[in-house]
Amino acid sequence: MRAGSLFSGVGGMDLGLERAGWRIAWQVEIDPHCSRVLERHWPDVPRFNDVRSVGPADLAPVDLIAGGFPCQDVSYAGHGAGLDGDRSGLWWEFARIIREMGPRFVLVENVPGLLDRGMGDVLGTLSDLGYDAEWSLVSACSVGATHTRQRLFIVAHSNRIDGRQGVRHTVARAFRPLQEVGDFASARAGALSRLADPSALYGGADGIPDGPQRNRAIGNAVAPDVAEWIGRRLLEATA
């Protein structure tokens, strides 16, 4: 099955979905450094620069549209502009592309602050577009990573797939385990592992070409193992 990637970053979401068995059909990323990384690892995938200027005329049909829209205005570290902010407000472009392309599935990633700063609007918009959704906070260390990186994942599925009603109930049941992945015991174990030898986990930016850009891109990236777990559940639910 085919997936399209919005706000691709350096491809953490895309890598995880590929591991699960999805084929990446296109990517949209505006940051020059991230675009160069994508070009290196996905040289044959069509790439576009700005979510505000693409639509069905540019993007091939896909079964899944996935992406983590900018978090600055919904993060607890920000000023709380929410989805009215210039950066997190790009959610509305995400929603426009969903409306215009009508994929079977949508996968949205963001920081936990979205729960208090726009979650109702995101879920309400998905509902208006004909999607039901499951969501949960998932820590990267809960699927084997050595860092915490807790993020919110929303899996939305169309109310009708191949003209059949009621498919959403089957898909929803498949995603109930999503709410059990980010358990605290696993998160604590991963955090302790990270603290035991932090120098082995992180390299500094000094002396590395594009070091600051690299570190920023890694900090914004989706943990591939989480995306892989979700991607596999999607494929299993539609098998």
pLDDT at 79: 84
Identify the active-site residue in 17, 37, 71, 74.
71
* Residue % of the chain over a pLDDT of 70: 75
Q: H-type helices in the chain, by residue range?
A: 12-20, 32-41, 91-101, 119-128, 167-174, 178-181, 184-196, 211-220, 224-237
C-alpha angle with apex 101: 97 to 104, nearest 5 degrees? 110
pLDDT interval class at 186 (50, 70, 90): low
Q: At 194, is the secondary structure helix, strand, or coil?
A: helix
| Choice between 4 and 139, residue whose per-residue pLDDT is larger | 4
Q: What is the CATH number of the domain that holds 152?
A: 3.40.50.150
Mean pLDDT, range 20-24, rounded to an integer = 98
Is 71 annotated as catalytic?
yes
Mean pLDDT, range 27-47, rounded to an integer = 96
Residue 193 has pLDDT above 80, yes or no: no
**Mean pLDDT of all residues in the chain?**
84
Q: Look up the domain containing 129 and give its range.
A: 2-237
Domains identified in the chain, total number? 1
For the stretch 78-100, pLDDT in tens is: 888 999 999 999 999 999 999 99
